[in-house]
Structure formats: C-alpha cells, structure tokens
A and B are shown apart, each in its own frame.
Chain A
C-alpha cells in the first residue's frame, strides 16, 4: 500500500478511536521502528522490548497522533525518546561494568547481548565472523550516524524519507550518512584505528 494511503487510513482510524488502528500502525511502522530501535540500541532483544513500550506510548497519545502534521516524524520521535530513556536507565543501572567512559558509549550491544541484531544476508556467502565485524563497526558509530546508515542500507529508505522520519534536513541526513560510511571504511580497513 502507498505510504500516504496507509497514513490516511491510520488517521481515519485514530479519529474514530478505532482499536483497529493498532494493526494499521504495526503494518506501517512495525518493521521501520524495529530497525530504528535496533540501530539506536544495538540490541535485538532491547529493541523488541522498547518497541512494545513505543506502541503503548503511541496508543496513549493517539489523539496527539491524529492531530500531528507528520505521522512519520511523530512516531519516530516517540521511539527516539523511549530509546534515550531506556539507555539512560541502563547506564544508571549497569554503568560500572558496561560503560566505556573513554569512548562514552555503551558496550552492551556488542558484548552483553547474546542475540545479534545483524545476521548474514546469505549465510552461505557471509561468515558469522564477518557479520560480527560489521556489527561491531556499526556499533562504534555515533547513534545519529548509525540510525541513518541502517535505515538507508537495510530499509532502503531515501534521504528524503529519512529526513521526514527523523525530522532533519536533507543535507544533514546526507552528510551524516557520508561521515558514517567514511568512519566504517576506516574501521573495517583497520579495526584497531
């Protein structure tokens, strides 16, 4: 279904206060939000947990959502806020063990999470080690660049769509994507750099 048509259906269901909007919201945003949360949290398990919280939040704010000008931006802003709150809570709880103050990043996504959030596209073609190296390199990226790289590469979103989803300008999205790829290139060439 066309993106605009799907959004219009959601708006109509929200205005009618029809619970069927939950399914429509899932069909339109479920996969995108999970990808976004995996990129933000670097963890499949955490992303699934937070996704449920995001949907509950959306349901509570359904009247705001019905009145929102850009559904994409509104929904992703809720997801971003929930992801930020989740990371803050986790840092407070597990900071002594899992916080890397030198790089100011959480290492939870790379070390503590048993479930990988990136898997080989063609298991016969790509080894598990290669997939882990790519996941580790992506995890090292700053979240703002990682989210854009993930959405562009794995969800085939255009820069324009990403800009609308994240409420950013087109040039910001493009430059963050490029900086992200340059860093990945350097790290994949020399993982110790």
Chain B
C-alpha cells in the first residue's frame, strides 16, 4: 500500500513539472466585453418562464397528438360509415286490411307514435302512460264485445277453438 502511495506521489510530482496556460488579459477583455454587451442588450431568462414554456409546449404537443389521432381514426373507419344503405325501406303495412289483428287500437297507436322522440324522463313517462291508456282501452273494448279471453286464457287462441280453424 505504501509502495503504491509512494508511486502516486511520484506521479503527482511529475505532473507538477507542467502547468496550465493561464488566461491572458486579452482573453479577459474579450470575454468580459462580450458578457457586458449581452447583459445590456439581451434580456435575462426569467426563472418562472421556463416551466411555463414547458407547460405550453406540452399542451400544444398533447393537442396535436389528440387531433392527429382523432383525424386518423375518423379516416380509418370512414369506408364502413359512408356506404349506401343495403336494404330499401319496407312499405308500411296496411293494418286496416287485417281484420283479425288483436289489440288493433294498440297497434295503431304504436304506428302513430313510432319515431316519436322519448329522450327525456317526463316524455318517457307520458309515453308509458299513453301506452297504458291504450292498453286499458283495448281490454275494455274486448270486454264490451264479449269476445275477450277470460283471465287465464290465452289471447292468441280463443277458448274452444281448434287450431285447424286458423289454417
């Protein structure tokens, strides 16, 4: 250990045989002159502006990335969205020509209200109430005719009828 230390001391002594070149007066005048000129002409960096600038750049980059992603996603799915309709609209059925239609007032109501916007809660409640009224009216009509089914009978097949009579 001591031997190594001795050798390192020798290296230190050897290094002392040379020295660094000291800065000259000319260099001093040049550097200080340029620094003074910059001091007087260029504004100093304000510390709080640096994080603010970083924040602005980050926000701009985020907006750019999101815009690009949005644009390319819309572009990618465009072929599936812009195609022509594959089926033609069906002609509305003429329910007046169907004499055996059960609950015909209810079905008429459905046709009349088909497509009506029911987006808010009160409209939905009104819609349910009107359905209920229509449904109750249909039952009352059936009861008045005497053709309505009793409580436990099916509404589709009148009591006592055979399936052959519908074929």
Point out residues on A near B: beta carbons under 8 Å.
17, 19, 21-23, 25-26, 30-31, 34-35, 38, 44, 48, 51-52, 55-56, 58-64, 67, 115-122, 125-126, 130-131, 134-135, 138, 149-150, 153-155, 178, 181-182, 184-185, 188
Contacts A67-B47, A130-B17 supplied; 15 other A-B pairs, CB < 8 Å: A19-B36, A21-B39, A48-B23, A48-B27, A52-B31, A55-B31, A60-B44, A63-B46, A119-B20, A126-B17, A131-B17, A134-B15, A150-B20, A181-B11, A182-B8
B32 sits at the interface (CB 8 A): yes
Which of B10, B11, B17, B44 is A120 in contact with, Cβ under 8 Å? B17
Q: What is the CA–CA distance of A64 and B50 in the complex, to the nearest angstrom? A: 11
If A30-B28, A56-B38, A63-B45 touch, whether A135 touches B15 (CB-CB below 8 Å) is no
Interface status of B42 (Cβ within 8 A of chain A) = yes
Are B31 and A51 in touch, CB under 8 angstroms? yes
Taken together as a complex, chains A and B put the C-alpha atoms of A149 and B15 apart, in Å, by 9
In the assembled complex, the Cα of A17 lies from the Cα of B39 at a distance in Å of 9
Q: How large is the interface on B (under 10, 10 to 19, 20 to 34, 35 or more residues)?
A: 20 to 34
Residues of B within 8 A of A (CB): 4, 7-8, 10-12, 14-23, 27-28, 30-32, 34-36, 38-40, 42, 44-47
Question: CB within 8 A of A60: which of B17, B21, B38?
Answer: B38
Which residues does chain A contribute within 8 Å of B12, judged by CB atoms? 153, 181
Expressed in whole angstroms, the minimum distance between the Cβ of A99 and any Cβ of chain B is 25
Contact check, B47 vs A119: say whether CB atoms are below 8 A apart. Answer: no
A176 CB, nearest partner CB in chain B, Å: 13
Contact check, A131 vs B44: say whether CB atoms are below 8 A apart: no
A120 and B12 CA atoms in complex are apart in Å by 15
Complexed CA–CA distance, A23 and B39 (Å): 12
User: Would B36 and A181 count as touching, CB distance under 8 A?
Assistant: no
Q: Are A134 and B18 in contact (CB under 8 A)?
A: yes
Residues of B contacting A134 in the complex (Cβ-Cβ under 8 angstroms): 14-15, 17-18
Cβ-neighbour of A55 out of B16, B34, B44 (below 8 A): B34
